[in-house]
Structure 1
């Protein structure tokens, strides 16, 4: 899964929050294209051919582990180099394996968010580790303009953000903290 474009440009020189300026390539969201879905606060995973993979960012200067499959070329500015590594039997993969076992059935190929009590501090408030398919939780009431999106996310402190899915596969995201600076209030 490649890095997803943000909907709005960020003030990197000051407060790091977003401003009412659309990131090039994200204009289709404001044009009413695509479907808004809930962005879950966990860690991204991939199921492909019955194998579970976890996201790994081979940031600048970091050597990727064996089996790393890049999702895109390294970003020349930030140094981020996202990709996938197979989930193994080590302690770092315990919660992935718990969610995999809890699914009880073979998951279809696709991307998922691993959420649960030991993932990202459990902002989703889950009692067990589980996989949520990306793009399944559709937000039919999500607005598409800066002011309304800010109000929409402010009124939903339990939600990390929104990801718009275009029929051609493009995605754009907007996180609550992009407006307010903290993960959750």
Structure 2
């Protein structure tokens, strides 16, 4: 080995890491999180003098041995879930995060029959600025942090995406895969979808952007009751990708408010 070659950060106990094999019944947990969420976890791990991975394992261990109760954990998770949720779900949640037959405060307009129902597409929210049939700006959505929420910052905003940044790679691939020549000039809020984004539940062949104001399919005669929506969503076919189940419904009020309900909120499988 060339002693002059630049070396990376040395690992702790590399011999052990190179030979360690997990037990047969173990599995690896992988999750995508935002930069802010990662920083928050790293701060807690630093205070505990451990790694984020060990922090998660410690939590799981506490649950498995009963030193942390599910009630203690769920109370905190519900708080985090409410902060994370960008568009409110129209029903309150009960045990196991499934919705219950109780309209969520602020969503009364849905049950009054107001608003248009469209298919909920599960991707990444992006905003494109169009000029003369060309994309001149690409932005991604940024949501307020927990501290900002406490300070009264409720609504999210858009920041410029980085064409050369690793985390925005698939956004720009979706932009390049979208024909915008017929789009009117202006800013368009879109959903980036495809094989590399959010698991590609609709089985799309390529990454692309779908504009909310131009192409999102609408549904007529959507029920507005708990039982009605539960039955309606169980077998609702996607109008954007026929042959695949729709993820859910987003209700759009004329004044800009939105509210949602998803298949899995009722416990329907994929």
More strand by share: 1
| Structure 2 partner of 1:173 | 260
Mapping of residues 4-83 of structure 1, within 5 Å: 4-11=87-94, 14-48=95-129, 50-57=136-143, 59-60=145-146, 74-76=148-150, 82-83=156-157
Report the number of matched residues: 167
| Two-structure CA RMSD over aligned residues (Å) | 2.6
Q: 2:220 aligns with which of 140, 159, 183?
A: 140
Q: Distance in 1 between matches of 2:221 and 2:247?
A: 16
> Structure 2 regions of 5+ residues with no counterpart?
1-84, 131-135, 237-243
Q: TM-score, normalised by structure 1?
A: 0.79
User: 2:163 matched to 1:109?
Assistant: no
Structure number with greater Rg is 2
Q: In the alignment, is the contact (CA less than 8 A) between 1:7 and 1:173 conserved in 2?
A: yes
Q: In the alignment, is the contact (CA less than 8 A) between 2:177 and 2:209 conserved in 1?
A: no
| Structure 1 partner of 2:33 | none
| Structure 1 partner of 2:233 | 153
User: 2:160 matched to 1:86?
Assistant: yes
More helix by share: 2
Q: TM-score, normalised by structure 2?
A: 0.56
Deviation above 6 Å: which 4+ runs of structure 1?
none
